[in-house]
Structure 1
């Protein structure tokens, strides 16, 4: 099923709250290189925040292939497994101004949600997606909270 906004469950996942309970969730952020090849990067719940059901913001490391692709094309797709379904969120992005006093300097993007597709199979249940274990949980969660706070400025 395709929609043009986040479901309640996806908004809840990406709302920037209760990060300790969501710390294992990871997503693939897909962009396209200058040569036309798909490029995939990992993104965590500490780098994306839903401002509502139709808009998200991303915090990306400067100088990466993914960030250069986002600046150039202003398009991306988030793909992940959550709550028993595969989710694909098409994004139309605009680069936000740099925050000079940012505690964790990042390139910031605001994205309108163009389409959301959630995919399930009638013949099988999706039991897990990409999961991560943080090596330094306390410091990473603190950085995520600070990064997401800077995204909503």
Structure 2
């Protein structure tokens, strides 16, 4: 494996997380890793409708209220985004800040702003990584509508 590391989102990740053309990205899912109070890794899945890149060095996340992941993020101020995309495995270390609640939010969530501490890409010379986690929604139109609304609120 060859590792490439940077402090900014590479082009392909920035475009994936730009909040546009969600219909073409709706099947992409990512893992968000946090650490429990007991020190164990905790994994949650998130979608392109719950994270938006403000620029190459900063993203915002919309997380469900009261979940273990959200509690871990509030407590530690850290998370790692793990995804397979464009033939690479990416590990994005995030430093988090909890944002104020939006009282009139259509889809109430805990909102976080995150600075990108590092982005590591695993690439193998002998193999291509073909896919990561892919999902199919039972009601894609409703999900896409909610995503666009959620991402609009993240930009506030």
Superposition TM-score, scaled by structure 1 size: 0.99
Instruction: Measure, in 1, the Cα distance between the counterparts of 2:72 and 2:138.
Output: 29
- Name 2:64's counterpart in structure 1: 61
- Name 2:150's counterpart in structure 1: 147
Tell me the number of residue pairs that the alignment of Structure 1 and Structure 2 aligns.
153
Q: Secondary structure at the match of 2:134?
A: coil
Superposition TM-score, scaled by structure 2 size: 0.97
Q: 1:82 aligns with which of 74, 82, 85?
A: 85
CA shift at 1:128, angstroms?
0.8
Instruction: Measure, in 2, the Cα distance between the counterparts of 1:76 and 1:26.
Output: 16
- Name 1:13's counterpart in structure 2: 16
CA shift at 1:146, angstroms?
0.2
- Name 1:91's counterpart in structure 2: 94
- Name 2:106's counterpart in structure 1: 103
Instruction: Measure, in 2, the Cα distance between the counterparts of 1:47 and 1:76.
Output: 14
**What's the Cα RMSD here?**
0.4
Q: Secondary structure at the match of 2:55?
A: coil
Give yes or no for the alignment of 1:49 onto 2:52: yes
List structure 1 segments (4+ residues) > 2 angstroms apart after TM superposition.
Answer: none
Instruction: Measure, in 1, the Cα distance between the counterparts of 2:27 and 2:90.
Output: 17
Mark the runs of 5 or more structure 1 residues left unpaired by the alignment. Answer: none
Give yes or no for the alignment of 1:32 onto 2:22: no
Q: Deviations over 1:42-99 (max 9, x none)?
A: 0000000000000000000000000000000000000000000000100000000000
Instruction: Measure, in 2, the Cα distance between the counterparts of 1:92 and 1:73.
Output: 9
CA shift at 1:120, angstroms?
1.0
More strand by share: 2
